[in-house]
Amino acid sequence: MGWITKYGSFWGQLPQTTGNVYWVSPGATYVVEGRTYSASDDNDGLSPERAMRTLDAAINKTTANAGDVIVMLPGAHTGSTVVALDVAGVTITGLPRGSLSSKGDHGSGVLRHAASLTTDGARTALTITAANSEVCYLHIIPVTAQAGIDIAGANINLHDLTFDMATPAESTSTFGISVTGAVSLLRVANCYVSSDGSQGGWFDDSAGTATITLTDSVIENCTVQSAGTSAWADVIVVASGATNLVIRDCDFIAISGALMTDVIDITGNTADGGVQVARCIVSVGCDGVQATATSDIQVCNNYIMTIEGGTGGTLVS
C-alpha cells in the first residue's frame, strides 16, 4: 500500500521508526480505504491489510528495544484476557484526530482518538511492566473496580490519552492509572479525563499491596472534569514513597455541583518536599491539596476559582 512510508508511518501521524510496525484490528473484520479485511492473530500484522486480532498477540511479536510500534486501528478494542505490555521499548498508539481543546496553557493539544481500549471482564485493561514503554492516542475505558492502566517500571511515557471514568458504575476501586509497583521517570502528559461520581483516583498509587516508590516523575498539561451528583473524593492520590514528583499546569473542573473533595491527596506521603504542585487550577469549593504536613508538599501559583462577581481566584496554600 503506497500510503505507508518506508519508515512505517501512516499519513505522517505515527512515530517514524526503524523497528517493525504491527497493526491490530478492533474486530474480526475491519475496513481500510473502503476495503474490508479479516483480522487474525495468525496474520503477521505488518500491514494494515494483514492486521492482527488482539493487542496481546501483537505485543508477543515485538522485539525488546528495537523501536517496534503497535498501531490500534480505529474502533472499540475490548480485551478478553489480561493484556500486559511486558516487552521493553515498545510504543502502543492509536491514530490521532482533531484537537479536543482550544488554544490555552492547560490541556492544549489534547486530541480526539479513533481507538478505544477496555476489557470485557473484571480486570485491568492494560498493565505496563516493561521499561521504556510508550502508550498514546487512545481512549481508555476502565471497568468498575478495576484500573484502566496499571503501571510498574522505569521510563514510562503515557501521553495524549483520554479517560472515560463516567461509564463505569461508581466505585472507589475504579482507577484511571494505578501505580502498583516501583516507578521512576514516569511522564503523564496531555490527557483529558471525564468522571461521573465517586470513583477512585484518576492517578492513584494506593491500590498496591506493598509500599510504592514513585520517583523523578511528572504529571502535566492535563484536564480533569467531574460531573454528576456524587463528590469525587480524591483525583490524584500519592499514598507513599514519592520523591521528586511534579504536578503542573493541570485543570481540575467540577461541574453540576459534584465537587472534588481533595484534588491532590498526598496524606500518606511524608517525604519533605517530595511532591511539587505548580500552576494548577481547581474549581470553587474543592480542596486543592491535602497533606499530612506542610513540609511534605511545595505549591506555587495554584488557584481555586471563585463565583462570578468575586474578586478573583484564591491562592492555594
Give the tens place of pLDDT for each residue, 92-109.
999 877 665 544 455 545
How high is the mean pLDDT of the chain?
87
Share of the chain above pLDDT 90, in %: 64
Residue 12, pLDDT above cutoff 50: no
Report the distance separating Cα 199 and Cα 145, nearest Å. 9
Residue 76, pLDDT above cutoff 50: yes
Buried b (16+ CB within 10 A) or exposed e, 109-133: ebbebbbbbbbeeebbbbbbbbbbb
pLDDT of residue 118: 96
Give the tens place of pLDDT for each residue, 51-61.
999 999 999 99
pLDDT of residue 35: 92
Band (11; pLDDT cuts 50, 70, 90)? very low
Residue 28, pLDDT above cutoff 70: yes
Give the residue carrying C-alpha cell 491527596.
Answer: 265
pLDDT of residue 208: 56
DSSP string, 60-106: HH--TTTT-EEEE-SEEEEESS--EE-STT-EEE--EEEESS-SSSS
Band (89; pLDDT cuts 50, 70, 90)? very high
pLDDT of residue 269: 86
- Written as nine digits, the cell of 191 is 490527557
* pLDDT, average across residues 301-312: 78
pLDDT of residue 207: 67
pLDDT of residue 239: 84
- Written as nine digits, the cell of 87 is 516487552
Amino acid letter, residue 26: P
Residue 202, pLDDT above cutoff 60: yes
pLDDT of residue 229: 81
Closest CA to 164 of 141, 135, 196: 141
pLDDT of residue 2: 44
- Written as nine digits, the cell of 124 is 485491568
- Written as nine digits, the cell of 309 is 462577581
pLDDT of residue 113: 80
Report the distance separating Cα 236 and Cα 247, nearest Å. 10
- The values of phi and psi at residue 153, to 5°, are 160, -175
pLDDT of residue 109: 52
Band (5; pLDDT cuts 50, 70, 90)? very low
Residues pairing with 244 in the sheet: none
pTM of the model: 0.91
Give the tens place of pLDDT for each residue, 130-143.
999 999 999 999 99
pLDDT of residue 309: 63
Band (308; pLDDT cuts 50, 70, 90)? confident
Residues pairing with 226 in the sheet: 195, 254
Give the tens place of pLDDT for each residue, 259-281.
899 999 998 888 888 999 999 99
Report the distance separating Cα 148 and Cα 123, nearest Å. 9
Residue 62, pLDDT above cutoff 50: yes
Between 285 and 280, the more confident residue is 280
Torsional sign, CA 40, 43, 45, 48: negative
Give the tens place of pLDDT for each residue, 107-160.
545 556 889 999 999 999 999 999 999 999 999 999 999 999 999 999 999 999
Are 186 and 215 spatial neighbours (Cβ–Cβ below 8 Å)? no
